[in-house]
């Protein structure tokens, strides 16, 4: 891909991690995670989206992650048959030399085509088509996992990780057989002979030091859920609460249950209830709010009291 490396180097030298949109190199934040921000560079002649991961202590760590990232992309695209955007990667030292910062780069997609935007445009019939399309893409993964045991692939299948190529928000229609593209390829979830390809411990880097010990004990359980189709589908359904569409949850539950009982009956997956999804989302929301408050406290201690840098972006208040 045609990455303007000098522009990324200039951005990294002058980044404002608290308010990255106010950095000397102007950007527009497209999204974020616990350990990353996703952005485009204003005025960049190449339509690219950059995901910044400031979590690596040395080149050996970043090389392992990039190799896993590229292989995960290949597995999804070539072995499993899930479409993914074109992607690349580059890394460089942080401005103070403490870290190696990885930039995962993808072709920039039309924002209106991302799943969590699309669902706000669709009537119930369109939502059913979209959810069924996602479930059929997910089935490809568990069919692959079932065919052999050497490589097991996981996925974060929530609706915001899918795009609908060619979607037109001015004419919000999705038809059966619509193509989908999976965009969260920079979290390479696959295991070879039971060993995780990525170093999952790196994803605790944004956790406050006082909580890291507890979270380390839970890490295996957290990662395991992305290899369990029922739990992945649980997250997919719960997204509709997160996106302030509670009325959509009952029909989405019915759609997923119907799919598991017919097109994926051989997997023997237990059906959901609306109450189960509601209880799960309530608990997940409480944990998320607590974790964000802990991170804000950690940032305050590091930046205001200890006068140390804080490497991660914390979003403002989000309605969940």
Residue 18, domain member (yes or no): yes
Euclidean distance between CA atoms 174 and 304, whole angstroms? 50
User: Nearest-CA neighbor of 228 among 301, 317, 152?
Assistant: 152
DSSP result, the chain: ----HHHHHHHHHH--SSSGGGSSS-EEEEEE-SS-EEEEETT-SS-EEEEEEEEESSHHHHHHHHHHHHHHHHIIIIII--B---EEEEEEE-TTSS-EEEEEEEEPPPGGGBHHHHTTT--HHHHHHHHHHHHHHHHHHHHHHHH-SSEEE-----GGGEE-TT--TTS----TT---EE--TTS--EEETTEESS-GGGGGTTS-HHHHHHHHHHHHHHHHGGG-HHHHHHHHHHHHHHTT-GGGHHHHHHHHHHHHHTTTGGG-PPPP-HHHHHHHHHHHHHHHHHHHHHHHHHHHIIIIIS-----S--------
User: Nearest-CA neighbor of 182 among 253, 128, 233, 109?
Assistant: 109
| b (16+ CB within 10 A) / e for 115-152 | bbbbbebbeeebbbbbbbbbbebbbbbbebbeeeeeeb
Residues paired with 88 in a beta bridge: 105
Check residue 320 and give its pLDDT. 62
Q: Which domain holds residue 101?
A: 5-107
Residue 214, domain member (yes or no): no
Check residue 34 and give its pLDDT. 75
Q: What are the per-10-residue average pLDDT scores of the chain (320 residues)?
A: 92 90 92 87 90 95 98 99 97 94 96 96 96 99 98 98 94 92 97 97 87 86 95 98 97 99 98 98 88 90 91 74
Residue 274, domain member (yes or no): no
Residue 91, domain member (yes or no): yes
Residue 314, domain member (yes or no): no
Residue 40, domain member (yes or no): yes
Euclidean distance between CA atoms 254 and 231, whole angstroms? 16
Check residue 317 and give its pLDDT. 67
Euclidean distance between CA atoms 65 and 305, whole angstroms? 33
Residue 53, domain CATH: 3.30.200
Residue 95, domain member (yes or no): yes
User: Nearest-CA neighbor of 142 among 264, 224, 250?
Assistant: 264
Check residue 207 and give its pLDDT. 87
Check residue 209 and give its pLDDT. 85
Check residue 200 and give its pLDDT. 92
User: Nearest-CA neighbor of 279 among 234, 244, 247?
Assistant: 234
Residue 96, domain member (yes or no): yes
Check residue 121 and give its pLDDT. 97
Euclidean distance between CA atoms 227 and 148, whole angstroms? 14
Assessment of whether the complete model's pTM goes beyond 0.95: no
Euclidean distance between CA atoms 207 and 298, whole angstroms? 8
How many structural domains are present in the chain?
Answer: 1
């Amino acid at each position: 891909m045609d990455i303007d490396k000098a522009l990324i180097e200039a951005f990294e030298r002058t980044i404002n991690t608290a308010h990255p949109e106010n950095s000397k190199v102007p950007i527009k934040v497209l999204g974020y995670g616990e350990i990353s921000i996703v952005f485009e560079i204003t005025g960049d002649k190449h339509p690219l989206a950059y995901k910044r991961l400031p979590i690596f202590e040395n080149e050996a760590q970043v090389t392992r992650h990039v190799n896993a990232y590229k292989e995960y992309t290949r597995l999804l695209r070539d072995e499993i048959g899930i479409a993914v955007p074109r992607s690349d990667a580059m890394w460089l030292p942080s401005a103070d030399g403490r870290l190696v910062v990885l930039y995962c780069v993808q072709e920039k997609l039309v924002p209106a085509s991302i799943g969590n935007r699309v669902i706000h445009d669709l009537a119930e019939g369109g939502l059913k088509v979209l959810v069924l399309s996602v479930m059929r893409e997910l089935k490809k993964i568990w069919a692959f996992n079932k065919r052999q045991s050497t490589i097991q692939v996981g996925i974060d299948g929530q609706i915001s990780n899918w795009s609908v190529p060619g979607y037109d928000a001015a004419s919000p229609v999705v038809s059966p057989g619509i193509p989908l593209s999976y965009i969260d390829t920079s979290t390479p979830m696959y295991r070879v002979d039971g060993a995780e390809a990525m170093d999952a411990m790196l994803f605790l880097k944004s956790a406050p030091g006082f909580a890291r010990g507890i979270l380390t004990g839970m890490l295996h359980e957290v990662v395991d859920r992305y290899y369990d189709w029922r739990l992945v589908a649980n997250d997919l359904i719960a997204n509709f609460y997160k996106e302030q569409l509670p009325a959509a949850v009952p029909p989405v539950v019915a759609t997923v249950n119907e799919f598991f009982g017919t097109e994926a009956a051989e997997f023997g997956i237990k059906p959901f209830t609306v109450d189960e999804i509601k209880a799960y989302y309530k608990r997940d929301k409480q944990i998320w709010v607590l974790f964000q408050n802990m991170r804000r406290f950690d940032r305050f201690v590091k930046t205001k009291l200890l006068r140390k840098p804080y490497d991660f972006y914390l979003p403002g208040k989000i309605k969940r």
